[in-house]
Chain A
């Protein structure tokens, strides 16, 4: 029964988030709209756990949320002696759903305001989780590894800034989209990354940030089908997701790519995604963006039937392209690994020189040193990696690997 209830709670949350956008536009007040939706979702949970969900859950929630909003506006009016627009009350008493096109625009407006470039990147992620995914501050704190109080504070600050600074609630025009989409895609991507590398406490929470990120990527792709960046982000996320089941073994320990059981990859999903990515590449007349290149790299890994048959030359070429348009540490390490596979460990090690010495840097260096038979140095590098922060699964893997390498270095 618990599972059934979770499924219901999920439907209610997802549908609630979808109708919020339209209600915000109708009411013109984010707080009233959010409160109305959250009261409607509570009512839905109570009613549906007895009767089961109605044939059209979204319509039920919409009508209920509108009624709750009317109650709230009336209460506020009585208290403040304010007159509210009669048209608004009429709009809210309707029982039909707005047309799809209107709902799409409402959703886009909400997405672009949550991901506005004048808000800090962490604030955008928190707002997106609250407003677009319908998560509670406690659940957001779980995903972002912060406290509920801190999350509430940052959400309040963000809402205050949106209102005080008059951040516009509108869909950017076609020429503006190119400037605004990277912020939106960045939110989706970092949300996925947060879910993909959960630290210790994260499995205490039942929210799958990866699933939320994919849902948002799908939504953005559906809402802006002609834009390439959302397509690229979606294919990157889905290609990565298809390989997720093999990343950890039954005991929850990290399994590196070379040892993963590729039969646990979701092959049909991978085939579909490679198609999606190819389509996005075909449509891009200009230079590929960073997400397309990352998706291309993920696709190369995904299409290889074994670690040995991976086309490392192609992956190396893609990493070099990626570094030329979006230099960052992860891409630099990726290139070093690809170069080590394609041209030998020495080439890989040489390429690592300039990169920042993070825990992951030391771990990669340890593996490349081991390839060259320099086991003692490799153990030293892993010690450095273990001293830095990492997920519990990563730490366990590195501890075990260190023991193996120690054995290689000093066989007795």
Chain B
């Protein structure tokens, strides 16, 4: 068994908006169907709520924050799943069921350690 993080890249939406309800339901259905494999899942607020944090100079230096996402892209990180699978083939098969695999992209990364 190995762990993979399936990073969901999709349009930078507000999942709480009523027009997202149908798609959100699809994600819930995915989570139910793959409950055995999913170790954790996270849904994110849109990047407009993001804050980028940097410390200037050495540790303890001034904390500089900027409003908005780290990088402006058409597709944004909107959530992720921690998946347990036998191998990459299985992790890919599970990730392919995510709506983002059709209307965005899913990046599957092997995990070194999680808790």
- Report, nearest first, the 9 A-B pairs whose CB atoms are least far apart: A168-B87, A165-B110, A166-B2, A166-B87, A165-B88, A164-B110, A167-B88, A168-B89, A166-B88
Which residues on A sit within 8 Å (CB–CB) of B86?
A: 166, 168
Q: Mark A157-180, 1 if CB is under 8 A from B, else 0.
A: 000000011111000000000000
| Chain B min CB distance to A118 (Å) | 6
Q: Are B92 and A118 in contact (CB under 8 A)?
A: yes
Residue of B nearest to A168 (CB): B87
**Contact surface of A with B, Cβ cutoff 8 Å:** 118, 164-168
User: Can you name 22 A-B residue pairings with CB atoms under 8 Å?
Assistant: A118-B88, A118-B92, A164-B110, A164-B112, A165-B2, A165-B4, A165-B88, A165-B108, A165-B109, A165-B110, A166-B2, A166-B86, A166-B87, A166-B88, A166-B110, A167-B87, A167-B88, A167-B89, A168-B86, A168-B87, A168-B88, A168-B89
Cβ contacts under 8 Å, B112 to chain A:
164
Seen from chain B, the residues whose Cβ lies within 8 Å of a Cβ on chain A are 2, 4, 86-89, 92, 108-110, 112
Q: Specify the chain A residue showing the minimal Cβ separation from B108.
A: A165
Closest Cβ neighbor of A169 among chain B residues: B87
Q: How far is the CA of A164 from the CA of B92 in the complex (A)?
A: 15
Write the chain A residue with the least CB distance to B89: A168
Interface of B, helix, strand, loop or mixed by DSSP:
mixed
Q: Which residues of B contact A168 (CB under 8 A)?
A: 86-89
> Shortest beta-carbon distance, A372 to chain B, in Å?
47
Q: CA–CA, A118 to B109, complex, Å?
A: 12
CA distance A287 to B2 in the complex (A): 39
The residues of A that contact B4 with a CB separation of less than 8 Å are 165
Q: How far is the CB of A112 from chain B (nearest CB, A)?
A: 10
Question: What residue of chain A has the Cβ atom nearest to residue B111's Cβ?
Answer: A164
**Cβ distance B39 to chain A, nearest Cβ, rounded Å:** 16
In angstroms, Cα B88 to Cα A167, docked, is 5
Complex Cα–Cα for A168 and B85 (A)? 11
Q: Nearest Cβ distance between residue B54 and chain A, in whole angstroms? A: 29
Chain A positions within 8 Å of B88 at CB level: 118, 165-168
Distance of B51 from chain A, by nearest CB (Å)? 31
Measured CA separation A210–B25 after assembly (Å):
53
Q: How far is the CB of B78 from chain A (nearest CB, A)?
A: 23
Kindly list 12 other residue pairs between chains A and B, CB separation below 8 angstroms, not including A118-B92, A168-B87: A118-B88, A164-B110, A164-B112, A165-B2, A165-B88, A165-B108, A165-B109, A165-B110, A166-B86, A166-B87, A166-B88, A168-B86
Give chain A residues whose Cβ lies under 8 Å from the Cβ of B87.
166-168
| Cα–Cα distance between A77 and B108 once the two chains are bound (Å) | 34
Query: Shortest distance in angstroms between B41's beta carbon and chain A's nearest beta carbon?
Result: 20
For the complex, what is the distance from the CA of A281 to the CA of B81, rounded to whole Å? 45
A165 to B88, CA, bound (A): 6
Find chain A residues with CB under 8 A from B108 CB. 165
Name the distance in Å between A225's Cβ and chain B's nearest Cβ.
25
Most A CB within 10 A of own CB, among B2, B88, B92, B112: B88
Chain B residues closer than 8 Å to A164, beta-carbon distance: 110, 112
A164–B4 Cα distance when bound, in Å, is: 10
CB distance from B22 to the nearest CB of A (A): 30
Q: Return the chain A residue nearest B4 by Cβ.
A: A165
